Amino acid sequence: MIALTFIKGPQVNGWVEGILQALEQLNPIEDNIEYTYIDFLVRFEEQYADSTKQETAQASLNQLKFKFPHINQYISNFETLARKAGYSIGSRESMNFFLKGLNSAPDIMERVVDKNLTNYYDLKAKAILVVKNRQLLQAMRNDANTLAFQKPFQRFNNYQPFPPHFNSPHR
């Protein structure tokens, strides 16, 4: 009965009232309290649980897309949705969903797909490695471009318009 005191609001008041009336009619000695509690939980779940949770997760999993460079976020979202959708993480079906989400980055997808990958954990490790390598290459390219633009300007920083003896009062 204490659990019912935490359930409040106009949308649940009628349901709580009905459960309370049913509980008040029970005889604590004759009626099975454990069964009553389990029955309460079942009725509560039937009344208020999200019956579309699995279908919603499947639809979200189908729409999940990897956004470079956020591979850890993609993996976390994927695994959460796969569990909610009722898929085993290691199943072929879940691996296909994982790869489908990588299609948003074709260059990553192309490097991840490998005939030697036999399970989800190998696939996940390969995806992480490929994304980290791409990040490294991108950082190296950015550094090379930055250095290429900085070198000409560095020469001008040391540029002196006149030799020092022209500025000196003593000759």
- Could you tell me the two tokens for 49? 């649980």
Dump the DSSP string for 29-57: TTS-HHHHHHHHHHHHHHHHS-TTHHHHH
Q: Which residues contact 78 (CB under 8 A, 6 or more apart)?
A: 61, 64, 97, 98, 101
Domain boundary among 14, 30, 48: 48
In a domain, 165, yes or no: no
Q: Are residues 69 and 108 in the same domain?
A: yes
Asked whether the predicted pLDDT for residue 154 surpasses 80, the reply is no
In a domain, 94, yes or no: yes
Q: Which domain holds residue 7?
A: 2-48
Q: Are residues 10 and 94 in the same domain?
A: no
C-alpha–C-alpha distance, residues 45 and 88, integer Å = 24
What's the count of helices (H) and strands (E) in the chain, helices before strands?
A: 9, 0
Compute CA 3 distance to the chain's CA centroid, rounded to the nearest angstrom. Answer: 33
Number of domains, the chain: 2
Closest CA to 112 of 133, 93, 90, 81: 133
Quick count: other Cβ atoms within 10 Å of Cβ 44? 16
Q: Are 64 and 32 in contact (CB under 8 A)?
A: no
Asked whether the predicted pLDDT for residue 161 surpasses 90, the reply is no
Predicted local distance difference test score (pLDDT) of residue 40: 74
Percent of the chain at pLDDT exceeding 90? 35
Q: Are residues 90 and 125 in the same domain?
A: yes
Predicted local distance difference test score (pLDDT) of residue 95: 92
- Supply the pTM of this predicted model: 0.57
pLDDT in tens, 59-75: 999 999 999 999 999 99
Predicted local distance difference test score (pLDDT) of residue 5: 57
C-alpha–C-alpha distance, residues 120 and 87, integer Å = 12
Q: Are residues 22 and 73 in the same domain?
A: no
Dump the DSSP string for 95-107: HHHHHHHHTTSHH
pLDDT in tens, 94-148: 999 999 999 999 999 899 988 787 889 999 999 999 999 999 999 888 877 765 5
Asked whether the predicted pLDDT for residue 20 surpasses 60, the reply is yes
Closest CA to 124 of 86, 166, 94: 94
Q: Are residues 78 and 110 in the same domain?
A: yes
Predicted local distance difference test score (pLDDT) of residue 166: 54
Q: Are residues 141 and 115 in the same domain?
A: yes
